[in-house]
Amino acid sequence: NKKDLRQDEMTKRELMKMKQELVRSEYGRNMADRIGAVGYLECSARTKEGVREVFEFATRAALMRKRKRKGGCLII
């Protein structure tokens, strides 16, 4: 979320004052790989860029996920 802030100079200046920076896409993708995420997408709620894609991807990922068996009894 907040992908639009990458283009906002005021946000960049404010972060620099606090010795911080925006998370880069590359860092996000690397972290997603590290934690075993199904994917990595970016969006902006303000401009609505990529929002639909995020929800479509999440829906597909949830439907494709294998169901895990919860406890219970097994009789052979």
**Which comes out higher in pLDDT, residue 57 or 70?**
57
Report the predicted TM-score, pTM, of the whole model to 2 decimal places.
Answer: 0.68
Residue-number span of the structural domain to which 12 is assigned: 3-64
Question: Could you write out the three-class secondary structure of 10-69?
Answer: HHHHHHHHCCCCCCCHHHHHHHHHHHCCCCCCCCCCCCCCCHHHHHHHHHHHHHHCCCCC
Give domain status of residue 74, yes or no.
no
pLDDT tens readout for residues 10-56: 998 999 999 998 889 999 999 999 999 999 999 999 999 999 999 99
Structural domain count of the chain: 1
Give domain status of residue 72, yes or no.
no
Give domain status of residue 40, yes or no.
yes
